[in-house]
Structure 1
């Protein structure tokens, strides 16, 4: 009797968990990967920068999993709306929550609710064509933008804002975003971080790319860099990243029209403006035992758009233990939440690591299932199909995604890999 497994979320964590289940049980397991969108791949499709196409090639691996025997992709089904967790636990022998962390953490400062203040998940979703954010109002008329955060997402946001339309034309950036950026008045992009260059979590590749932009120059204050000899204590990759920053600080000012300002040792304290964001107030900080401590010295960064790239949260689900402090489900080290209920990926450990970091999570969860001695016998997909049909829910499959994929590729502008369909109604209409 085959083991019936439901995986909620068709991003990297979900696919790696399905891959691990197939490797362990082979034909003795039936796996349903459920997602609220008709399109799979989660963060790969909607989170990875559109000009980083090589990273998105990992979807070919996921295609192999989705097209394998014993695996189904079930799209356009939202857990909590179309079917509950308790219902899924009754229909499957095991349920794995691989929802990722799609919600932005709030900045938590006065004025963070003003128009023009948005989270990076929303901004990235906007330029990547996520249906939830395709209609987002992104004010680009002001010369200044402040991006709060010292990680790769902050650099992604800054780079997309700073690139020329020609540089973005061969990416899969959404057409509405490309058109908005073509008319952008942004000339100063400020990347704001509470600590210094040695504490920044940019990768070498991401930082280095900023030195090769057609119309933008990255700059930082030389005084924000620690003494050169202190770089020797850094891990080699991080040391190379800091070397890029030192190069930016030493470079002469060019005549490029856009400047990317690294604002190290700046703690955001307020967003100010008349009915909209007009400036970000920051406090100068210093390091004490690795912590950023305010000095009381305040500065204003003129900006009409503030993007908070300071972290993400998993959405809670009714009946599932959730840590508000950590912003993720409560589970043990193996991803076990309760009897037959597990979590993998960011929903298990929080938003950290690379795409590949999710792979060990999937295998860890399957090992926990084996240790728990799960037995088959649940209704599985047949039961879910009947339940959804009774509620009039129009679920989509992997063949439907392939039809959408073909349509997106066919409508691509010259040189681009695809033109994403960003409206759910249009997706479903195309599928009949």
Structure 2
């Protein structure tokens, strides 16, 4: 039985945490809701940091999850700039950075993830940037504008989604861009070589240079400023600024210190939760980037770092905290905007787990869908590029777990919803 007059504490004031607080109130919870954030910013959404905000198309107000007055109006106690430093599960207390403690009846961990650092000499120079938080994006936007005005050179380390979106934004400002990536194509671990090559061509057509199959071994600078980067292939690449986008690590330190189960690295390394987003402690839940959740449809544990998982996972965890029956089975989804290309991806196709890629439409005209199929011709994932209003149909194919006819899947004359027969 959930005490409706109890105290629910949410550690992490990002999208997942803010949407969980919203859901608790929407579902009628009348107890205390305390939202703790280690940033001094009110909860905001992160996708714009590498998209609209970075390009200058949006300002910071567009990133907010709620208007500032919303929290007081809904009696959500918002503590900003207040990190949680310890979790005492026996006492049901969260200790804070100022030395105080908060007692909870149920607790949600929505601590997110942190950028993986570049561990080479010179990585601590002032001109080396990461992109995870709003202050990072504000600094980087200013840097890109300056590079554009001065025909400066940006070096991007890592050709994942963040790296490619930063590269596209930098080209929009007029900066020269080189991307260094150890894999043979961009996005190799996410999309495989077939679609990775597609994104390489897209960026090359917009003036981006790639150093593929290479890793940065040193960032060279003087008086704190970046001058160049050295690679393991013997290249010296000039650079006035460096952006590191080599992945993120879930912020599990609080959970680990408290003795909560953490998934192995092969399952994402996040806090291990079941399909109701409950941890190994029945009164502690986890959602968003930090959670490695059992997916009842895909039959595996996943840690998903994308916006939709925070948007939907926070509310799901809130309902589970209230004692409702929850089975969080959303198909993983994310989107990206690069130059004139907009895309959505649904599903999960791990490297080496798919047997073929089926393309529907004209990839040359950049209006197509791509599907990753396993050896039994089941759709593991699908991507729609500049083709809209089909994501739900793609997700139905993934969710069905049924074999499809690859020829019908590739035929634009066959409606997606008819592919299964």
Shorter-chain TM-score tier: 0.5 to 0.7
Quick one: distance in 1 between partners of 2:47 and 2:105?
29
C-alpha spacing 1:273/1:15, structure 2 compared with 1 (3 Å): closer
Is contact 1:21-1:29 (8 Å) kept? Answer: no
- Shift in Å, 1:157: 2.4
Higher RCO (CA < 8 A, seq sep 6+): 1
Aligned position for 1:304? 240
2:215 corresponds to 1:267 = yes
Question: Aligned with 1:266: secondary structure?
Answer: coil
Give the structure 1 partner of residue 138 of structure 2: 128
Please list every run of 5 or more consecutive structure 2 residues that lacks an aligned counterpart in the other structure. Answer: 88-92, 293-301, 326-421
Aligned to 2:166: 157
Q: CA deviation at 1:273?
A: 4.2
Is 1:188 the counterpart of 2:140? The answer is no
**2:21, 2:33 within 8 Å by CA — same for their partners in 1?**
yes
Alpha-carbon shift at residue 310 of structure 1 (Å): 1.1
More helix by share: 1
- Give the structure 1 partner of residue 273 of structure 2: 332
Shift of 1:41: 2.1
| Aligned pairs (5 A) from 1:82-231 | 85-86=94-95, 91-101=103-113, 103-121=114-132, 125-128=135-138, 143-164=152-173, 187-197=175-185, 199-200=187-188, 231=194
Structure 1 CA distance for aligned equivalents of residues 59 and 125 of structure 2: 36
Cα distance in 1, alignment partners of residues 12 and 78 from structure 2:
10
**Residue 234 of structure 2 aligns to a residue in which SS?**
strand
After superposition, what is the alpha-carbon deviation per residue over 1:347-373, rounded to whole angstroms, capped at 9, x for unaligned? Answer: 224984431112342244346535699
Matched position secondary structure for 2:182: coil
Structure that is richer in strand per residue:
2
For the pair 1:279 / 2:228, whether they are aligned, the reply is: yes
* CA–CA distance in structure 2, aligned partners of residues 57 and 201 of structure 1: 31
Distance 1:344 1:112, change over 3 A: same
Aligned pair in 2 of structure 1 residues 14, 74: CA closer, same or farther (>3 Å)? Answer: same
Q: Tell me by how many angstroms 1:309 deviates.
A: 0.9
* 2:288 corresponding residue in structure 1: 345
For 1:80 and 1:93, how far apart are their aligned partners in 2? 16
CA contact (8 A) 1:31 1:70 kept: no
Give, in angstroms, the shift of residue 57 of structure 1.
Answer: 5.7
In 1, Cα distance between equivalents of 2:111 and 2:314: 13
Residues 284-311 of structure 1 show CA distances to partners (whole Å, capped at 9, x for unaligned) of: xxxxxxxxxxxxx432211132211112
TM-score, length basis structure 1: 0.53
Structure 1 residue 72: Cα displacement: 1.0
Query: Could you say which residue in structure 2 is the equivalent of 1:246?
Result: 201
Instruction: State the partner residue of 1:429.
Output: none
RMSD: 4.7
Alpha-carbon distance in 2 for matches of 1:325, 1:138: 41
* Partners of 2:46 and 2:170 in 1: CA distance: 20
Report deviation, 1:341: 2.6
User: What residue is the counterpart of 1:208 in the other structure?
Assistant: none
| SS of residue in 2 equivalent to 1:47 | helix
Hey, what does 1:357 align to over in structure 2? 309
Which position in structure 1 is the counterpart of 2:7? 4
Deviations along 1:167-193, one digit per CA (max 9) or x if unpaired, are xxxxxxxxxxxxxxxxxxx84211221
User: Quick one: distance in 1 between partners of 2:178 and 2:303?
Assistant: 23
